[in-house]
Amino acid sequence: MVDGSARISQDPEPRKNNRVHPVLKLLYKKRWAYYFIAPATILFCIFTVIPVIRSFILAFQEFRLMGNVWVGLENFKYVLTDPVFHRAMRNTAFYTVVMVPQGVLKALILASILRNLPEAVQTFFRGAYYLPGVASAVVISMVWKWIYDPNFGLFNFILGTFGFGPYPWLTSPKTSLTSIMLMGILTAPGYYIILYLAAMKKIPRELYEVADIDGATPFAKWWNVTLPLLKPTTLYITITSIIGSFQIFTSAYVMTQGGPGYSTMTVVYLIYNTAFRDFEFGLASAQAIVLAAIIVFISVYNFRVFSTDVQY
């Protein structure tokens, strides 16, 4: 009896000491999942998170070989009053305003046309539109640079047969940015076409059958059924297109090097020059943060204005 009472009095204490926090218990239970994601997480932190934090700190410093000097908001003041940065921002904004709407509209129209074709034909065109996007942007820019060449380029050769030209497509401030934009306009947005086709296949056919019963025309069905239900996809494509347009770099670097006279200078190319040509890493970090803030603002604005609860 004494042994039993002693055992009863002593039991609660070991149980108390053996209690494990629920969070630790859950971590231990899911430990193999964390083992598998650990390599990718570590690489992401090393090559993304830490550089972003370091760049943010560097934006408030002046880079020097003997040690950085803290300058506060001076880099941001210089960026906001720099005429070259203003010119680069105008060029980038103009490029975005023109390229994003036409790219979204072009992908939507092409996807709407392909949707009614046989599956084998759709597969062919999906590959035909998507494969050029896999090619290196540097190679594509070099090809277009040859096309625009004032002496033996394809465009001037064709115009010359009709008695026109040659035109300085990339060497004139009046036509250089437009020429870069024309390259994008004449390129099919294969990735966005595939997204639209996938979204259109998810639309229930019953909605189109009801529209047929109501006597709707093909255009009315496209306008009143297809377009509203593609709104989430259109929002995604629009935001990613805006982000990509604000980050334009390769074509300006390969084809014009930002010239002539800053006519094709973009924000990302200016950041590249500031950091790796002028070695002003603090100033380049400030420029990058300003660009990131603009992209975040535009993305949030688009989400608030165009987001929808449509589910199908």
Domain final position from 10, 25, 58: 58
Bridge partners, 69 (sequence order): 62
In a shared domain, residues 29 and 165: no
Q: What residues are paired with 62 via a beta bridge?
A: 69
66, part of any domain: no
Cα 67 → chain centroid:
35
Going from the C-alpha of 258 to that of each of 42, 252, 266, 312, the distances in angstroms are 36, 6, 7, 45
* 97 and 32 co-located in one domain: no
pTM, two decimal places: 0.84
193 and 272 together in one domain: yes
Say if residues 216 and 288 touch (Cβ distance below 8 Å): no
Same domain, 103 and 41: no
Question: Which residue range is the domain that position 34 belongs to?
Answer: 2-58
- pLDDT per residue rounded down to tens, the chain (312 residues): 445 544 444 444 444 455 777 878 888 888 888 889 999 999 999 999 999 999 999 999 988 877 788 988 999 999 999 999 999 999 999 999 999 999 999 999 999 999 888 888 888 988 888 888 788 889 899 999 999 988 888 888 888 888 887 888 998 999 999 999 999 898 888 899 999 999 998 888 898 888 888 888 888 989 988 998 999 899 999 999 999 999 999 999 999 999 888 999 999 999 999 999 989 999 999 999 999 999 999 988 888 877 765 555
> In the chain, count of helices (H) and strands (E)?
19, 2
Kindly state whether residues 9 and 138 are assigned to the same domain. no
What's the pLDDT score for residue 309? 57
* Terminal-to-terminal C-alpha distance of the chain: 70
What residues contact residue 120 under an 8 Å CB cut-off, 6+ apart? none
Does 63 map to a domain?
no
For residue 239, tell me if it sits in a domain: yes
3-state helix vs strand vs coil in the chain, percent to 5? 75, 0, 25
Question: What's the confidence (pLDDT) of residue 2?
Answer: 46
Cα angle, residue 230 at apex, residues 224 and 235 outer, rounded to 5°: 125
Residue in the block written with tokens 């239900």: 229
String of b and e for 92-113 (b: at least 16 CB within 10 Å)?
beebbebbbeebbebbbebbbe
**Number of domains observed in the structure of the chain:** 2
Do both 40 and 125 map to the same domain?
Answer: no
Q: Are 100 and 217 members of one domain?
A: yes
Q: Are residues 40 and 84 in the same domain?
A: no
What pLDDT is stored for residue 209 in this prediction?
87
In a domain, 69, yes or no: no
The pLDDT value given to residue 8: 46
Residues 196 and 119 in one domain: yes
Residue 13: the pLDDT is 46
Residue 7 lies in a domain: yes
Q: Could you report the per-residue pLDDT of 225-278, keeping only the tens digit for each?
A: 899 899 989 999 999 999 999 999 999 999 999 988 899 999 999 999 999 998
Q: Is residue 67 part of a domain?
A: no
CATH number of domain containing 110 = 1.10.3720.10
Beta-bridge partner residues of 61: 70
Return the closest-CA partner of residue 105 out of 234, 226, 217, 232. Answer: 234
My answer on whether 263 and 204 are in the same domain is yes
Q: Distance (Å, rounded) from C-alpha 7 to C-alpha 222?
A: 79
68, part of any domain: no
Check whether residue 11 and residue 92 sit in a common domain: no
Q: State whether the Cα torsion 151-156-157-162 is positive or negative.
A: negative
Question: Is 182 within a domain?
Answer: yes
Same domain, 198 and 51: no
